[in-house]
Amino acid sequence: MESNSKILYLDNAATSWPKPENVYKAAENYMRYLSGNPGRSGSSSLEAERFLYNAREKVASFFQVKDPSRIVFCYNATDALNTALKGLLEPGDHVIYTAMEHNSVLRPLGRLRREGIITTTMVPCNYEGDIDLDFLEQSFQSNTRLVVFTQASNICGKILPYKEIVELTYKNGALSLMDAAQAAGSIPINASEVDLMVFTGHKSLMGPPGTGGLYVSEDIDLKPWREGGTGSHSDLDHQPPNMPERLEAGTNNGPGIAGLVEGINFIEKTGIYQIHEHENKLTSHLLEGLSDISGIKLFTPQNPSERVSVVSFLLEGVDPGELGDVLESVFGIISRTGLHCAPLAHQALGTYPAGTVRLSPGYFNTIQDIDYVIHALQEIVSLKL
Pairing of strands 93-98, 71-74: unpaired
DSSP lists the bridge partners of residue 304 as none
Query: Quick one: 152 or 247, whose CB is closer to another protein?
Result: 247
Using CB under 8 A as the binding criterion, the count of chain residues that bind another protein stands at: 22
x/- letters, 66..105, toward another protein (CB under 8 A): ---x------------------------------------
Residue 127 is a binding residue for another protein (CB under 8 A):
no
Pairing of strands 93-98, 118-123: parallel
CA neighbor of 156 nearest in space, from 127, 135, 179, 123:
127
Query: Quick one: 231 or 343, whose CB is closer to another protein?
Result: 231
- State which of residues 1, 31, 53, 321 lies at the interface with another protein (CB under 8 A): 53
Distances (CA, A) of 30 to 25, 259, 263: 9, 9, 15
| Residues 199 and 63 sit within 8 Å (Cβ to Cβ) | yes
Q: How far is CA 214 from the centre of its chain?
A: 12
Burial group, residue 350, by CB count within 10 angstroms (0-12, 13-18, 19+): exposed
| Residues 37 and 231 sit within 8 Å (Cβ to Cβ) | yes
Query: Quick one: 71 or 339, whose CB is closer to another protein?
Result: 71
CA neighbor of 298 nearest in space, from 363, 358, 348, 338:
358
Going through 105-223 in order, the beta strands assigned E by DSSP cover 118-123, 144-150, 175-179, 196-200, 212-216
- State which of residues 18, 42, 271, 350 lies at the interface with another protein (CB under 8 A): 42
| Residues 34 and 174 sit within 8 Å (Cβ to Cβ) | no
Is the dihedral angle over the CA atoms 62, 259, 202, 210 positive or is it negative? negative
CB of 242 to another protein, least distance (A): 5
Residue 38 is a binding residue for another protein (CB under 8 A):
yes
Query: Quick one: 74 or 106, whose CB is closer to another protein?
Result: 74
Contacting another protein within 229-288 (CB under 8 A): 230-235, 240, 242-245
CA neighbor of 173 nearest in space, from 100, 93, 235, 247:
93
Query: Quick one: 40 or 223, whose CB is closer to another protein?
Result: 40
x/- letters, 193..232, toward another protein (CB under 8 A): -------------------------------------xxx
CB of 232 to another protein, least distance (A): 4
Query: Quick one: 38 or 207, whose CB is closer to another protein?
Result: 38
CB of 222 to another protein, least distance (A): 16
Query: Quick one: 47 or 132, whose CB is closer to another protein?
Result: 47
Residue 41 is a binding residue for another protein (CB under 8 A):
yes
Residues near another protein (CB under 8 A) are 38-42, 46, 49-50, 53, 56, 69, 230-235, 240, 242-245
